[in-house]
Structure 1
């Protein structure tokens, strides 16, 4: 370690900690009268929002929440959730954003493992609570979240046994004065659980410092370097990624800091999403490909002007077919990349001075790349022996990373934490190449790369090719065991309404690509099955583990 000269310290000097409450404070400085909207049910400005955040902190204090305690939330994307992002964390408690799409048994495990003390739960999820309530070991009380109070101001939610109050009624009884304290910036702020292929869900966790730095990095990338062009305080933000999923990718923290108008859609329904998009003037969203596909295929989408809408797609690869369909509707689409363990932003589409003027058709290649490396993130490629792979746009290696906002590990799971940070780098499990100008090009997940005839074939490349064929709505490609070749690719396809695709027709088109030299013969799927829906995980990603299992059984029984 080198010897350096440290700056002199003045005992009286104060260096404020990097806390989430500091992000909240900015919302009152510049545009305090901008609105936060929940569906067509509720709206407020940032002055009222700040008061409600403090009322929430007082309510939780009355319910016995102390610094270090864990507060769980089960809700749709809402203003209430946003209030918890700031109110729970700024009082020094830990916010557990519960994945409501997990099975009741998995939700039970995560709530007990996180040691939740108080639970805020939307009435839609009460059946889940009924199924697991008697097995919860640390929960002391509940607060019910009801939308009925917004449609009927005199309505009061009926409180089930064990509930302290309804959220709105509880806030009304509390003072809007609360002095959020200073504390160590490494204080635990949030936790949530990510599912893997084996074992129980893994608890990741983040400190105030990590989330503050993530917000700064995101702000620098999207506002400074224009990773999403012209993103600014004038944008109207609406998440279409669940707030339980990696803090809705960190954008609620950024939008609040900027006092941008925010719109929260509640439960995702194509009609309400498009209605809010138009009536509230939404200009910036993020979602997984499944949601974008649903919106692009909606008949309403073809009848309205979507040219002001910028959408960041992540969670799964943005195929060229989906990108072209969105661009044809005027939607400006971009790709983002990250994972639960990285808070999540690692890359975003960023077009530089030479790429930005290109015709939109030529930009598709760039917009569907994994993205350019985000500011303050270090990404390398590593081979199986732990050696770094050159960034030449061709050489493949596992994506490993470091940064100011990466999780330290998995809660109470030292072995998997050690594996995650093997060799001092966070291992993603993704295989990629990187260009000299910092474009990351994900080839596949390590477990999804298809090893056939001595060649490594990317399932994402095949999906990209098939997605561009007329009539293909969605596609998923997986490798299945083959006695001769080791593995061979196989495809599931959902066709668009009004088309009558056939296996022979798809094969013929792909054969033509092979004969013209545009496609390697290894990429031709052995089996092509048409389905009405492609299996997804709890956060909307294509579930390739399930597809491999079900497809293998289908093919063997055929």
Structure 2
């Protein structure tokens, strides 16, 4: 860094740290009567929400939670989870959002590795806890979370039976606590949240973020979502409902933004297609985010056409996996506005969101689909480059490919107690994403593939994501996954799994013939015709809804090659 001259400081001057409690404080200033809704069971306004956050802080203090202690949460998307986002972290404690979709062995590893002291757990997950409880090494007590204490939007008598070793039920504990609590100031670089991300090898990796990083991520969203209106979100008229688990990268950071704006929020609990659609209508939801699997589940629901009039106000940001043109068209045909976003667990996560400038908004719907299915435009305050295998930067010309490397004020600094993998993540002073992409001169990011999923065939690099996008546009294809498998002649060849829509009778030969016709017309490269196509009822997914290509390669290789 260059030598600079720092501003003089007066001893009495106060320099407020960037803390999560500061974002919480904004929620009471302007629209405190707006609501936070949980399913069809419970609703509160922001005055009550702030009181409950302070009640939670008093409960945690009474249970001897100190700054730096780790508090784990097992819950569906709920108001309780949102209260933990603020109540746990504003104490100076650390919120561990447990991925409930990991195996019990992986959950046990993450809890012991994180050194969890207190666990808040929904009753639905008690069987998981029962299987691992005796092997937990640092947990001192538990709090049970129950939906049974709510009836018609009002609280009723708490659970009569609390499991052995539990301090009590969440609502009962809050009722017995004061709603007054003065959150302290502390260093903005204080550790605030942690969660674990799975990779292709080894144990899950602990990702962590500070108050400053989450504050800055929220400011980045504020600038892009509200300032530039990338996915227009106005607190006065918009209603937010996440359909991305809150355990996964803070539900992409949107709950912090929505709370700071005192926007109406709707938390759907466990994802059920019909309930999600009902909440969309009843609560007037206008902004959500989810992975393609969830959007596909909703637009494919037999009930979806009945809600067409209400879906026309719904804006959905898609991330986690590529938004295909087929799915984008299906959503747009129902009136839904879709746009892609890009990021990863290690980046808090948002690094790009689709943004149409004034000229692009004048394009036809078909031309806009091409842009909406890109990964997005680079977010404010994020620096993103492309790097080749030799560590050289690749030009941003919309054609040249390289691995995305990034810098920004909210990227994780490493992996908890794993310096070797942390150093590999930040090799050369840039965070390495493992994603192969091109970037245009006007900052559009176009993901080609994960480095491990690019198909190397006949001296060419073929994007499995591009092939899935082509297959998504075949009439009757509901979902697809493409992987490369070893081939003696070509090195690798592409193979596809396909789920077909109800009422269709597709054949591998028919799909190949359609693709070959496009090759003959010069619309596709010859490598884009899969060697084999296997029709399946389900495509393996990871714990956060992404296509699990590692599992497909390991478990389905012999089945595919036997065709």
TM-score, scaled relative to structure 2: 0.98
Q: Secondary structure at the match of 2:489?
A: coil
- More deviation in 405-414 or 353-362? 353-362
Question: Match for residue 368 of structure 2?
Answer: 363
1:190 to 171, 190, 193: 193
Check the 8 A contact 1:223/1:232 in 2, yes or no: no
- More deviation in 403-412 or 231-240? 231-240
| C-alpha displacement of 1:229 | 3.2
Please tell me the root mean square deviation across aligned C-alpha atoms, in Å.
0.9
- More deviation in 95-104 or 298-307? 298-307
Check the 8 A contact 2:235/2:262 in 1, yes or no: no
Check the 8 A contact 1:71/1:93 in 2, yes or no: yes
2:171 to 168, 193, 196: 168
Question: Match for residue 430 of structure 2?
Answer: 425
Query: C-alpha deviations, 1:267-318, integer Å up to 9, x for none?
Result: 0000110010000000000000000000000111111121000000000000
Question: Match for residue 407 of structure 2?
Answer: 402
Question: Match for residue 339 of structure 1?
Answer: 344
Check the 8 A contact 1:381/1:399 in 2, yes or no: yes
Question: Match for residue 328 of structure 1?
Answer: 333
Structure 2: unaligned runs, 5 residues or longer: none
Question: Match for residue 259 of structure 2?
Answer: 256
Following the alignment from structure 1 to structure 2, what is the Cα–Cα distance between the partners of residues 157 and 340? 39
Check the 8 A contact 2:233/2:287 in 1, yes or no: no
Question: Match for residue 107 of structure 2?
Answer: 107
Question: Match for residue 116 of structure 2?
Answer: 116
Q: Secondary structure at the match of 1:490?
A: strand
| C-alpha displacement of 1:9 | 1.2
Query: C-alpha deviations, 1:194-219, integer Å up to 9, x for none?
Result: 00011000000000000000000011
Aligned residues: 558
Q: Secondary structure at the match of 1:169?
A: helix
| C-alpha displacement of 1:155 | 4.2
Check the 8 A contact 2:426/2:432 in 1, yes or no: yes
The answer as to 2:378 corresponding to 1:373 is yes
Following the alignment from structure 2 to structure 1, what is the Cα–Cα distance between the partners of residues 433 and 41? 40
Question: Match for residue 517 of structure 1?
Answer: 522
Question: Match for residue 387 of structure 1?
Answer: 392
Following the alignment from structure 1 to structure 2, what is the Cα–Cα distance between the partners of residues 555 and 491? 9
The answer as to 2:438 corresponding to 1:448 is no
TM-score, scaled relative to structure 1: 0.99
Question: Match for residue 206 of structure 2?
Answer: 203
Check the 8 A contact 2:158/2:172 in 1, yes or no: no
The answer as to 2:6 corresponding to 1:6 is yes
Following the alignment from structure 2 to structure 1, what is the Cα–Cα distance between the partners of residues 280 and 497? 31
Question: Match for residue 551 of structure 2?
Answer: 546
Following the alignment from structure 2 to structure 1, what is the Cα–Cα distance between the partners of residues 218 and 199? 27
Give every structure 1 segment of 4 or more consecutive aligned residues whose post-TM-superposition deviation is greater than 6 Å: none
Following the alignment from structure 1 to structure 2, what is the Cα–Cα distance between the partners of residues 234 and 53? 25
Following the alignment from structure 2 to structure 1, what is the Cα–Cα distance between the partners of residues 279 and 416? 38
Question: Match for residue 320 of structure 2?
Answer: 315
Q: Secondary structure at the match of 1:475?
A: strand
| C-alpha displacement of 1:157 | 4.6
